[in-house]
Amino acid sequence: MFELDVRSRKPIYEQLVEKLKQLIINDVLKEDEKLPSVRELAQQLTINPNTIQKAYRELESQGYIYSLKGKGSFVHPSGKVDNEEELKKVREELKKLFSEAIYLGMTSEEIAALLHEVEGGQQDD
Amino acid sequence: MFELDVRSRKPIYEQLVEKLKQLIINDVLKEDEKLPSVRELAQQLTINPNTIQKAYRELESQGYIYSLKGKGSFVHPSGKVDNEEELKKVREELKKLFSEAIYLGMTSEEIAALLHEVEGGQQDD
Amino acid sequence: MFELDVRSRKPIYEQLVEKLKQLIINDVLKEDEKLPSVRELAQQLTINPNTIQKAYRELESQGYIYSLKGKGSFVHPSGKVDNEEELKKVREELKKLFSEAIYLGMTSEEIAALLHEVEGGQQDD
Amino acid sequence: MFELDVRSRKPIYEQLVEKLKQLIINDVLKEDEKLPSVRELAQQLTINPNTIQKAYRELESQGYIYSLKGKGSFVHPSGKVDNEEELKKVREELKKLFSEAIYLGMTSEEIAALLHEVEGGQQDD
DNA sequence: GTGGTCTAGACCACT
DNA sequence: GTGGTCTAGACCACC
């Protein structure tokens, strides 16, 4: 399903969160689709189930998925994502990254090009 | 000078690195300007000097400052920052953030507006 | 495993970095092989664990090893070492050393012989 | 006469030692030629005289110069340099650098080319 | 007085 | 049990 870089200094559960977020964002995992079970995914990735558990908990608290006891975890419909807090974080991050990119020599045209490249490849809901 | 969150999961020295990077990028700390001494900053922030030094050392290895025994630490002239590796990381980060921002409902116009806001406020060397 | 000179003006952690680099370069420590744990090595060498960690951290930032929380530190596969910057430094060092060697009376034949001696003893990946 | 990089993490007196060594090796400073006086050089480079003093002391102990009380410091005739100890160090350094260069991807041909380049540009006594 | 190194010892996060 | 962070406090090298 996806690759984790065990060599990264980033904790595995964080990598999992990011990867799953990307899958949801890019509509590979559709609204209300069931995610693989903790045990299943743990076996597939040969990773400790606790680590998967932690990633799912994080995704839930960020509003990307919801869990039903005894049934599993599911993708949260995007329109309903509780996003105010997340949006604020993203805006702050963007501002920080923009100034860093410019400092390192990128022009705003290059940055905008990158934006439109991403925009083009993404499915809107 | 700035606020640190000692309770954050993010290590203090990393917060320091980020804050100082921002000050350098936004030209608050100018080329070859002296940073506060390790001990001085430690006292100001009521933090252990070793922690400050760890941050300074990281900034040095990333090319943002240089340190002279017996003299102090200084802002590295921006033209000489080794940036190829850093730039690659920044580009990846931007792409990830763009897709996340769009997913959370931002339009590319809003993002572009944010970019130009940052661009306007930044002093070129 | 190796000898350190605690009396040297060269810091212990730098001596450690050099020794470990040599072991990696000469393929004594193979790709993805686990290095001794920080505490283990500290005990073996009767040196403070923090000092070992400083060395490991430096090796990591230079691309020679990677560290995983809770698992240990491992040799980075050589193909992936970021080497452009390092190579530049090495070339400068070589030129300086060559001129010094010649000044002290070595012939270029003697130097070349030394080179081939090293070359013969080294395992390529 | 020469440039010192105040931004280098290498102590200034060590930079001085290296620069002067290079001048002697490349025959810019000839046998028995008088070096600039400590005070003179200190003023030229706007550097503390103690720092110059320390560099001269180091060069003397390595056999590159000799000092006459009240007269100044002079270049040691190269044939008479006490070089056994230095040579041993240089050989060790060369071996270490060779293996590092090969590890980073240089071929022995490239290294040899570098050697002959240096050899060609150097004046033998 | 400045940065840099080292120790001893505590506590946390991850697996 | 592993690496990572942080503190407190000592000592050194450089200018």
pLDDT digits (tens, 9 = 90+) for A35-73: 888 888 888 888 888 888 888 888 888 788 888 888 888
- CB of D71 within 7 Å of some strand E atom: no
- Residue A7 CB lies within 7 Å of the nucleic strand F: no
Rg (CA), chain B: 17
**Contacts C82 to B, Cβ<8 Å:** 85
In this prediction, residue B94 carries a pLDDT of: 93
Q: Please indicate whether residue A52 or residue D82 has the higher confidence score (pLDDT).
A: A52
In this complex, which of B78, B104, B108 lies closest to A119 when CB atoms are compared? B108
Contact residues on chain C for A9, CB-CB shorter than 8 A: 60, 66-68
Q: Which pLDDT score is estimated for C111?
A: 94
Q: Is the CB of B78 under 7 A from strand E?
A: no
**pLDDT at residue C83, as a whole number:** 67
What was the pLDDT predicted at A125? 46
Q: How far apart are CA B54 and CA C61, in angstroms?
A: 14
d(CA A96, CA C64): 30
Write the DSSP symbol of residue B83: -
How high is the pLDDT of residue A47? Answer: 83
Beta strands D65-68 and C72-75 are unpaired
CATH architecture of the domain B12-80 equals Orthogonal Bundle (1.10)
The answer to whether chain A touches chain D by having 3 or more C-beta pairs less than 8 angstroms apart is no
> Searching chain B, which residue's CA lies closest to the CA of residue A27?
B103
Size of interface C-D (CB pairs under 8 A): 103
- In whole angstroms, F7 C1' to B53 CA is 13
Assess contact for B65 and B73: CB atoms under 8 A.
yes
The pLDDT value given to residue B125: 45
Q: What pLDDT is recorded for position A43?
A: 82
How far is residue C89's CA from residue C15's CA, in Å, rounded to a whole number?
19
Amino acid at C10: K
Q: Cβ of B50 < 7 Å from strand F?
A: yes
Using an 8 Å CB-CB cutoff, list chain D residues near C86.
104
Nearest by Cα to A16 from A37, A35, A2, A32: A2
Average pLDDT, integer, range D105-124: 83
H-helix segments, chain A: 12-25, 38-44, 49-61, 84-103, 108-121
Q: Is A98 a residue whose pLDDT tops 90?
A: yes
Confidence tier at D29 by pLDDT (50, 70, 90): confident
Query: Which residue carries 């997913």 as its tokens?
Result: B103
pLDDT at residue D1, rounded to an integer = 57
Q: How many CB atoms lie within 10 A of CB B124?
A: 8
Predicted confidence band at B29 (pLDDT cuts at 50, 70, 90)? Answer: very high
For residue A71, what are the CA distances in angstroms to A36, A57, A68? 11, 15, 5
pLDDT tens for C18-72 read 999 999 998 899 999 999 999 999 999 999 999 999 999 999 998 899 998 888 9
Chain D residue with Cα closest to B72: D7
Q: Which candidate, A118, A28, A25, places its Cα nearest to that of A64? A: A25
Q: Is there contact between C35 and strand F, defined as CB under 7 Å from any strand atom?
A: yes
Q: Could D9 and B66 be called an inter-chain contact, meaning their C-beta atoms sit closer than 8 Å?
A: yes
Gap from C9 CA to chain B (nearest CA, Å): 15
- Give the CB-side neighbour count of residue C80, counting CA atoms within 13 A: 12
Rounded Cα distance between B19 and C33, Å, is: 37
pLDDT at C125 over 50: no
Query: Do residues A61 and A50 lie in contact, with contact meaning Cβ atoms separated by under 8 Å?
Result: no
